[in-house]
């Protein structure tokens, strides 16, 4: 079974806050062409709540996922562009850029801040 990464420290100095409230931390900068807004990307990712509970992981499933950035939460639409293939970026997504006051399913409560580690495999 693939090794799921540990959750990044929520209060680490490496986070860079964007105007929207999204925070970004590039733990590995990739090489090649940067992702453009609205691109279709293939990634490996793991998501946690700030209490450390993992709620989803393509790494744990052993299968990458591909999607258009136009089809995902705003935190990903803003946080993935600029990444380069082979790069790993951490995203701290405020609820307003995530699932907001409704949450998602039984794993993501209302007004949850989400932490993701995203490895970019490719984009087009």
Tell me which of 24, 80, 93, 99 is the catalytic residue.
Answer: 99
Residue 65 annotated as catalytic? no
- Would you write out the chain's pLDDT as a tens digit for each of its 124 residues? 568 888 999 999 999 999 999 999 999 999 999 999 999 999 999 999 999 999 999 999 999 999 999 999 999 999 999 999 999 999 999 999 999 999 999 999 999 999 999 999 999 9
Tell me which of 26, 55, 67, 121 is the catalytic residue.
Answer: 55
Q: What is the pLDDT of residue 5?
A: 87
* C-alpha to C-alpha distance for 55 and 66, rounded to whole angstroms: 19
Which of 107, 89, 88 has the alpha carbon at shortest distance from 99? 107
Residue 15 CB partners (closer than 8 Å, separation 6+) = 23, 24, 25, 90, 92
Q: What is the pLDDT of residue 88?
A: 98
Query: 101 has which bridge partners?
Result: none
Q: Which two tokens stand for residue 91?
A: 């995203």
Please report, in angstroms and rounded to a whole number, the separation of the first and last CA atoms in the chain.
29
Residue 11 annotated as catalytic? no
Q: What is the pLDDT of residue 1?
A: 53
Which residue is listed with tokens 């580690």? Answer: 117
Residue 55 annotated as catalytic? yes
Residue 67 annotated as catalytic? no
Domain spanning 16-123, CATH class: alpha beta
Q: What is the pLDDT of residue 4?
A: 86
State pTM to two decimals: 0.94
DSSP string, 55-90: EEEHHHHT--EEEEGGGS-HHHHHHSTT--TT-EEE
């Amino acid at each position: 079974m693939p090794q799921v990464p540990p959750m990044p420290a929520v209060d680490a100095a490496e986070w860079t806050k964007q105007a929207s409230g999204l925070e970004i931390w590039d733990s590995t900068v990739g090489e090649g062409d940067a992702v453009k807004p609205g691109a279709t990307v293939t990634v490996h990712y793991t998501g946690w709540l700030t209490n450390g509970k993992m709620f989803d992981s393509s790494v744990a499933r052993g299968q990458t996922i591909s999607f258009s950035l136009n089809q995902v939460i705003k935190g990903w639409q803003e946080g993935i562009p600029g990444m380069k293939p082979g790069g790993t970026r951490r995203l701290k997504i405020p609820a307003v850029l995530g699932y907001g006051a409704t949450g998602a399913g039984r794993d993501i409560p209302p007004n949850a801040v989400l932490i993701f580690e995203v490895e970019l495999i490719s984009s087009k």
